[in-house]
Each structure stands twice: as structure tokens, then as C-alpha cells.
Amino acid sequence: MGDKKFDWSDFMSNSSTQKSKFDRVLGKKDVFSIAFGAMIGWSWVVMAGHWILKAGTAGAMLAFVLGGIMIMFVGLTYAELTSAMPQCGGEQIFSLRALGPNWSFLCTWAIILGYVGVVAFEACALPTVLEYIAPNIMKGYMYSVEGFDIYATWVAIGVISSIIITIINYIGVKPAAYMQGIFTFIIVGIGLVLMFGSALKGDVTHTKPLFDNGFGGLLSVAVMTPFMFVGFDVIPQAAEEIAIPFKQIGKVILISIASAVAWYALIILAVSLMMSKGEMQSSVLITADAMKKAYGGYTIMADILIIGGMAGILSSWNSFFMGGSRAIYALAEAKCLPSFLTKIHPKYKTPSNAVLLIGAISCIAPFFGRAMMEWLTNAGGVGAVTAYLMVSISFLVLRKKEPNLVRPYKVHRHRFVGFMAIMLSSLMLLLYMPGMPSGLNIPEWLIIGIWGLLGIAFYAYAKHKFPEFGRVLNIELNEKG
């Protein structure tokens, strides 16, 4: 990406102003459910018990509180930048204004990998969850990938679900947000049922030991927590479609992170009160068994809990689908991707071609099985964290470069916040490196390499094709609310 030295004045002269092509229809509840639903997903169902076994009840809860505090620093940079530049694309807009088109391309291409990874994974997660409820559902063996058997019914469930999610996102952001609200309501409702039953029937002695495996146990859970909070960054992607005061957008980002921290901590406590250590060690799905035990051993209660997990899958899938399509659209609008991806549907006001592209990837995913999708998700984590790092840098750069930029939500002690966000993001990236407990393996690095080569190809194409490569779009938006 080595050009002549980047000149800020030349870059800003390549800017233009236009009216928004999107409908501003998302209210505060919509925005919250999009972010919260993206962060919760399915992990609270499958991982809560494992966190307790690793660190103890208090250790696991403390790990999530510490992880939440760390990610809050990154969230603060997003809160300020999103309220200042509420345009479709989020990271692409921030990094373009701060660092120029080359680094912006890298930042946005990285976050797209993160979104695509989650979308592809969720297309495989749904049939996996249905298999818990109906073990005999898998029919029509087709082939195996990395030891995982692919069945026709598995593929059909994944593809049909992908088509439905694509249609919802194609016909408007409001229907997608409405569905997101339903999914989030189901998740919270079923989670509260678990917490209520646990409060009535739980045994405090089950929570011992409060701290297990010492500091190492707490650290082993703490390193996972930042990745449980990936999803608040979807809000900036759809910022141009949000109809609340700009300052409120920043506040909702922070509230959604705090709510996710509270959610994970309370689920850990509820599961711990119901299940002894021995019961957890012998359980296949600990959180579901905790629900079953809390309500007299009825299997249907475990199935209801799993339905909450399914709602989590759909909410995360829907949110990242929304975020991925808008990130692709924004990069294309900046003349960094083929122009057909800039199409906005005349009736539905959605980035229709970008939605269809994400939908196609989602439909293909089930054909590759679970192993490859886990690789893609882990590789996507590197993309998301890379974007966090670049947004954190952009936050400090813009404070210096554009001190007079109107910032409806203005972070206090910005140098400290920016430094902490950069340090956290760098630490999160380090956790993926070889030799670390959560280090990536060879297939995951290959995916990152292939994605990088694909990005270089698109970068070279756009640089050659479009004289306006990396243009800045200033969207005319009036304060709402």
C-alpha cells in the first residue's frame, strides 16, 4: 500500500457532500437490541459452566467484570466517534478521516472478515443446536470435512435459515431490527426464568470454591472475555439509519456493553447456584441442565433454555449480517470496492447487493461443516481486534487533527482513554499469536492470509479503476429526537 507520502489537504479536497440514501428509522430500543443481541449470542448457553470450572464462581464473574472494563475503553472511543460521524460504515469513516484511504481499507477489510466469520459460523450453529433438541434430525449423509459428517438436513437447515435472514435484511432495516427485538426479548426472558429458578432452588454451597485454579484460572477466563463482547461495533455500521440524538448513540454503545457484562455475570451466578462441580463435570450442556434442575428435572425446561440459545444465534447472526453488509457498502462508496456494491434498493433503502453477497456467503457456509467455520470465526476475531486497534488510534489522531470537530458525546481524559484502548487492542491481538493459550492454528492463519491476498487484489483493482479511490463522503444529517 505504499504510495507517495499521504497529504491531508489533498485527501480532504477529494471529499464531497450528499444526502443520505438510507431511511433513519432505528429507535433507541432497536439500537440497544442490535448491539446487545450481537454480544450475547450462543456462548452463554455452551460456555458458562466451563468458565466456572476454570476459575470458580467469583473468579469467572470477576473475569467478566475486568474484561468488560477493558473493552469499555474501546467502547468509549467508538461512542465519541460514532456520535461525531454518524455515517454508514463506522470504522471505515473514522479511519478514513484520521489515517487516510490506505489504512482505512485495511481497517474495514479486517472488520468485514470479523463479520463474515460470525455470519458463516451462525449458519452452522443453528443446525447444531437443533440437533440437541432432536438428535435424530440429521438424515442423508453427504460427506465429511475434517472428521465432521455433513448431512443433507444439516445443509438444508443452514441454507434455509440463511435465506430467511437475508430476506429480512433485504426488505429493510426496520424489519431486521423488529426481529432483533423479538430475539433479544426471548433471550432475556428465558435468562430471567433461569435466574429466578436458581434464586429459589439454588444452593450457595455449590458456588464453592469461589476462586478455582488461582490467578491462572481467572486469567484463563479473562482472556476469553474481550471476544464475548464483540458486537457493540455493529452500531456505528448502521449509524446513518439511527433516529435518535447523536449523543444518545454514544451512550447506547456504552449501556449495551455494561448490560452484556451484567448478563454474563448473572448467568454464571445462576448456573453456579444450581450445579455442583461434579454435576458440571459430567454434563454435556451445563446451562441447560441447570435450568432443568431448577424446575424439578423437567427436560422441557432444558429445551426452553436451548431455545433461548437459538434466539441468541439468530440475534448475533442478524446483527453481524447487518454490520457486514453496511461495511461492504461503505468501502464501495469510498471507491475501494466494485461499484455494484453501492446499490441502495429504491424501495427498501438497504444496501441490497451487499446484503445479497453476505447472504450468499451464509448459504455456502453449511456445506463446509463446523470445523472450517470455527477456523473462520477465530480468524475473524483477529479482524475485529485489528479494527478496534485502528479505531482507537483514529480516536487520538482526530483529537489532534480535528480539534474543532463537533463531538456530541465527548470523552473526558481522552489521552488516557485512547492509550488504554490502544494497549487493550494490542494485548487482544497478542493473544492470537502462536504460543499463547488462545493462539491461532495453521488453518486459521491460512484463512487470514487468503483474506489478505483477496484484499490486496481488490485494493489494486480499485486503485487502478477509480480516480476517486478513498473519497470522503460527508453526509447531510440533521439531529433527531
What does the pLDDT look like over 253-266, one tens digit per residue? 999 999 999 999 99
Give the separation between CA 378 and CA 439, rounded to whole angstroms. Answer: 9
Segment 394-399 shows an average pLDDT of 98
CA angle in degrees (0–180, nearest 5) for 100-101-105? 125
On whether residue 2 sits in a domain, the answer given is: no
Place of cell 461512542: 79
On whether residue 101 sits in a domain, the answer given is: yes
On whether residue 338 sits in a domain, the answer given is: yes
Q: Report the pLDDT value the prediction gives residue 481, as an integer from 0 to 100.
A: 53
Q: Report the pLDDT value the prediction gives residue 436, as an integer from 0 to 100.
A: 81
User: Is the confidence at residue 169, as pLDDT, over 50?
Assistant: yes
On whether residue 3 sits in a domain, the answer given is: no
Residues 308-351: tens digit of each pLDDT: 999 999 999 999 999 999 999 999 999 999 999 999 999 999 99
Q: How many domains does the chain have?
A: 1
H/E stretch holding 468 reads: none
On whether residue 428 sits in a domain, the answer given is: yes
Burial of 441 (0-12, 13-18, 19+ CB in 10 A): exposed
Give the separation between CA 422 and CA 394, rounded to whole angstroms. Answer: 10
Residue 309 sits in a domain of what CATH number? 1.20.1740.10
Instruction: Enter the C-alpha cell of residue 461.
Output: 483493482
Give the separation between CA 462 and CA 467, rounded to whole angstroms. Answer: 9
Burial 91-129 (b: 16+ CB within 10 A, else e): bbbbbbbbbbbbbbbbbbbbbbbbbbbbbbbbbbbbbbb
Burial of 34 (0-12, 13-18, 19+ CB in 10 A): buried
pLDDT confidence of 220, banded at 50, 70, 90? confident
On whether residue 13 sits in a domain, the answer given is: no
On whether residue 442 sits in a domain, the answer given is: yes
Q: Report the pLDDT value the prediction gives residue 175, as an integer from 0 to 100.
A: 93
Q: Report the pLDDT value the prediction gives residue 212, as an integer from 0 to 100.
A: 85
| First-last CA distance in the chain | 42
On whether residue 343 sits in a domain, the answer given is: yes
Contact 345, 172 (CB under 8 A): no
DSSP letter string over 426-448? Answer: HHHHHHTSTTSTT---HHHHHHH
Residues 21-75: tens digit of each pLDDT: 888 899 999 999 999 999 998 889 888 988 999 999 999 999 999 889 889 999 9
Range of the domain at 288: 21-473
Q: How crowded is the C-beta side of 311, counted as CA atoms within 13 Å?
A: 23
pTM given for the model: 0.90
Give the separation between CA 410 and CA 398, rounded to whole angstroms. Answer: 12
Segment 79-97 shows an average pLDDT of 94
pLDDT confidence of 187, banded at 50, 70, 90? very high
